[in-house]
Amino acid sequence: MPWLDILRAGGRRAAVAQGAFAVAWLGFGAWQGGEALRSAPARERLAPTLNAEALLAGRTAGAINHIMAHELPVDGWLRMAGGVLRYGLGSGGPQVRVGCQGWLYLTEELRPWPEASAAMARRVAGLARVRQALAARGITLLVTVAPDKARVHPENLCGAPLSAQARDRYHAFMDMTEAAGLPVIDSAAALRAARVRGDVYLRTDTHWNRLGAAAVAQAVAARPLPYRREDGFQRQEPPAAPHVGDLLRLMNLEDAPDALRPAPDVYSATSVQAPEAGGGLLDEAPAPEVVLIGSSYSVNGDFHGALQLALGARVANFGQAGGGFAGSAMRYFNSPAWRENPPKLVVWEVLERALGQPVSAEESAFLERPLR
């Protein structure tokens, strides 16, 4: 019957289409896997496992599994699609809270931490021990805090949850340091004063902008400090350009069209040119008398350049992105630079959000042992 022939023909076409789709899908998967294995991160991960011992122990298979899970070319598109979907629903994912007017906030700043007061007290005691050890060597320690973005720009939170612990953390730290006799710059006050000239943090990034960095640097320079001032420091600013902030990257929106994400900040990072030593190109510059230790605010947040301009001094930057409270300090005080060229002034920039986080065993050992 004709209708049976039509059904049979339709079934054959469906089978052919399914087979073609299966072949195409397998081919796409093979191409993705091949591209992943050819990538530089994949070659670096695979290289130590390309031997019989690693193969028999399963390390080669483990490396391949990791590559297939993290290095497929399509992964970036899938992550971006997920980020766009979440943002369309008003969410920034587990690490980012979406405010209003295109402002984003790091969840880590807003949440509470267990036993935060005890962790903060251990860190303040460690700062006091470091200060005492430096003073015995004739070195001044000055502490400055990089306040949470939500503390300085709360007006754009727009319902993003802010814990009571986060609201009280900065003032609790200032009270503890005052009781311990530690010299601490009130960065939050300096940033609030600077806000009459505009925003002091980036909208799509965790860090302060050039105006914010300069405000804190000028508050540092207002103190009487032991260092030799030089003339001739010059600010260099490339043309402003869209800046994809770290919060956009945490949302997997770094490559998304602007219509599907908060618009990136338009920003120009500052670089600073120090004066030539002795006036000649071949003259050797003296060892810096000022050392900056700190977080990504000292590395990515324009603070290093702003501090050199405000102080009129060469500043050796040992800031460490992702180093938390003491990562940069641990690196510096274990370095040849500390042993061979001790400074006259150490500026320790600390993250407010790190003050109450759990203290690692490595950080605890550093804070409780004497400086070498």
More confident residue, 38 or 266: 266
Q: SS3 for 25? A: helix
State residue 301's pLDDT score. Answer: 76
Q: Which residues contact 97 (CB under 8 A, 6 or more apart)?
A: 104, 105, 106, 107, 110, 157, 160, 161
So what's the pLDDT on residue 105? 95
Q: According to the model, what pLDDT value does residue 267 have?
A: 84
Q: What is the pLDDT of residues 17-48, one digit of tens each?
A: 555 545 544 454 454 455 555 666 656 666 77
Which phi and psi angles does 208 have, rounded to 5°? Answer: -70, 160
Mean pLDDT of 221-234: 84
Question: Higher confidence at residue 353 or residue 269?
Answer: 353
Residue 131 has pLDDT above 60, yes or no: yes
| Lowest mean pLDDT segment, chosen from 72-76, 228-232, 302-306, 330-334 | 72-76
How many whole angstroms separate alpha carbon 141 and alpha carbon 114? 29
Among 36-50, 153-167, 280-294, whose mean pLDDT is lowest?
Answer: 36-50
Distance CA 140, CA 290 (A): 10
Which whole number is the average pLDDT over 310-319? 91
Indicate the pLDDT class of residue 291, thresholds 50, 70 and 90: very high
Residue predicted with more confidence, 41 or 144:
144
Residues 20/13, Cβ–Cβ less than 8 Å: no
Per-residue confidence (pLDDT) for residue 300, from 0 to 100: 80
Mean pLDDT over the full length of the chain: 83
Q: What is the pLDDT of residues 337-351, one digit of tens each?
A: 999 999 999 999 999
- What average pLDDT score do residues 315-331 get? 92
Q: Is residue 315 pLDDT above 60, yes or no? A: yes
In tens, the pLDDT along 162-171 reads 999 999 999 9
Q: What is the pLDDT of residue 25?
A: 44
pLDDT band at 220 (very low <50, low <70, confident <90, very high): very high
**DSSP for 242-281, written as a single string:** EE--HHHHHTT-TTS-GGGSPPPEEE---EEEPPPGGGST
SS3 of residue 17 by DSSP: helix
- Are 298 and 292 in contact by the 8 Å Cβ rule? The answer is yes
- Residue 271's pLDDT band (boundaries 50, 70, 90)? confident
Within 8 A by CB and 6+ apart from 136, the residues are: none
Q: What is the mean pLDDT of residues 302-311?
A: 90
> 10 Å Cβ neighbour count for 328?
26
**Least-confidence region, from 23-32, 46-55, 89-98, 320-329:** 23-32
Q: Is the pLDDT of residue 151 over 80?
A: yes
